[in-house]
A and B are shown apart, each in its own frame.
With several copies, the nearest count.
Chain A
Amino acid sequence: MINFDNIRKDFPILDSKVNGQNLIYFDNAATSQKPKKVIDSISDYYTNYNSNVHRGVHTLSMKATDAYEEGRNKVAKLINAPTDCIIWTRNTTESLNLIATSWAINNISEDNNIIITNAEHHSNLVTWQQVSKKTGCELRFLDITDGFNINELKNIFDVNTSLISITHMSNVLGYVIPIEQITELISGTNTKIIVDGAQSVPHMPVDVSDLDIDFLTFSAHKMMGPTGIGVLYGKKELLLDMQPFLFGGDMIIEVSYDDAKWNQLPYKFEAGTPNIADAIATGVAADYLSNIGMENIWNHELELSKYALNKFSSYDKFTVLGDNFSHLRGGVISFIHDKIHPHDIGTFLDQKGIAIRTGHHCAMPLIRSYDTSAAARISFYIYNSIEEIDSFFEALNEVEEYFS
């Protein structure tokens, strides 16, 4: 049994007051809070063994290198990947751009097409728009407004589909995409699949070997880790074949004035001094999540999500984006009001200590398809509770009164 009270105590920020109220943090899809262990691992590094990695024979450098690589190991374990297939990036966005630059540009031509959904985060949309402009390939959209349907994917998928890049869980609609249906569809073809795990890896078990996907991208800051570091997982044979991303120190094995040889995996893709402290802290975050258990986290959030969706259905003027009940949805709920602008809702709730996100959630065209340019969004993590959701709905009632 999970002890939620103990978990809450691990997060110093959850004790703070915002505008005189107890903080209710419902902005987890934007970034998660961090347990003390993660925060302390950063201070510990800088206080006790800060040093550059990989090239040093001195003690501090060896300690730093070990801890840095141990961070990678821990992340590899979390998603069940070989350690040398874990590449550190800045964030999900950079992971996706790395694939675009190092793989897509060299493997996609104007005869090909790329499939994404209409609900992708800008990082998984604009990146492929650019690849489409550079290579001349077609960018096709799978409409998942009312949920994912494999038959609709089959309609637009063909032998020229080089790539399907799809979110594992939508950061607007909360839908969980059944990736195994897609990998089954493309199995035996040349089509590659990228799973944008920014919203899934932090919240549910994700096993890259089980899923048999080509690439997985995610950000540490959404999974209780620090800002400034993200992960790209890739299948080894693909990574081995790919061109480097950025050029400089650490990613080379040998350099002359006119040529350079690339280093082995994963270093080939990691140029310059890495984000050492945050890699260490990301490992600590991965362990923290594993210790609670990804299944437990996921189940808790499903419960919160169902509870909140149910509550929403009793409101006339609040509309939840996406289908509420017939699809598997994680702890992300976007909503709009007939009259009241999300900004005003957000500001009002903030005065009650409730942090929610408002805006286009980096999915502008999707939000616009609802004839609005902004929505409000609540999103949960393991440390959130039913009581907090109750407080949220009480405050929402006040919002309606206030602005009516």
Chain B
Amino acid sequence: MNMGGLSGLDDLNEMYESIILDHYRNPRKSEKIENSDFEINVNNPFCGDELFIQLKINEGIVDDLSISGNGCAISQSSGSLLAESIQNLNKDQILILITNVRKMMKDEDISEEDRDSLGDIEALEGVKKFPVRIKCALLGWAGLEDLIKDKMTS
């Protein structure tokens, strides 16, 4: 692969970080679960990205979940990163996490501590340089927010 010297490709490599491509190729928690408590299907009809999120709640925290879908590397890897991050969290913790993901993606002020709490999700930061793809990166998070706001009790 010969891409040396192409400045644009640096940005590209930043967006398609190895963590991202890994999650895209090997999505975590993509097996559907049975008897989920809540589920939601979110999609962006314009590009066809879709994610199906299922949650199993026990005593107010996420006990099990699944995220499966179809779409671009960004939406799907972001979904997979999401799946990896919310196990055992309660509603408020998830909402804080979503807020922090949004802050990072929109380049808003975010404390060192909040940023650290993102863990691997930070790999999504490269998407910032591609504003049109931010929607892809946020698809799952927006869906999750709708789902728990409506359904989960805190």
* A interface, CB within 8 angstroms of B: 19-21, 54-57, 61-62, 65-66, 253-254, 340-344, 347-348, 350-353, 358-360, 364, 367, 372-374, 398, 401-403
Residues on A with C-beta less than 8 A from B50 are 373
Q: Is B143 an interface residue (CB 8 A)?
A: no
**Contact-residue bracket for chain B:** 20 to 34
Mask of B1-25 contacts with A, CB within 8 angstroms, 1/0: 1110011110110011000010000
* B interface, CB within 8 angstroms of A: 1-3, 6-9, 11-12, 15-16, 21, 43, 45-50, 70-74, 130-133, 136
Report which of A20, A55, A57 forms a contact with B6, defined as CB distance below 8 A.
A20
Contact A62 B74 (CB under 8 A): no
Report which of A21, A253, A341, A350 forms a contact with B45, defined as CB distance below 8 A.
A253
Contact A57 B48 (CB under 8 A): no
Contact A402 B16 (CB under 8 A): yes
Contact B73 A341 (CB under 8 A): yes
Contact B9 A403 (CB under 8 A): no
Contact A343 B12 (CB under 8 A): no
Report which of A348, A358, A403 forms a contact with B21, defined as CB distance below 8 A.
A403
- Known A343-B47, A358-B47: A351·B11 in contact at CB below 8 Å: yes
Q: A290–B112 Cα gap in the complex (Å)?
A: 40
Q: A62–B132 Cα gap in the complex (Å)?
A: 7
Output the least CB separation between A283 and chain B (Å): 19
Contact B8 A341 (CB under 8 A): no
Contact B71 A343 (CB under 8 A): yes
Further contacts, 7 of them, CB under 8 A, given A351-B11, A367-B48: A20-B6, A341-B49, A343-B73, A343-B133, A347-B12, A347-B130, A348-B12
- Known A20-B6, A20-B7: A360·B48 in contact at CB below 8 Å: yes
A/B interface sample: 16 pairs, CB < 8 A: A19-B8, A20-B7, A21-B8, A253-B45, A341-B47, A341-B72, A343-B49, A343-B74, A343-B136, A344-B72, A347-B15, A351-B8, A360-B47, A373-B70, A402-B16, A403-B73
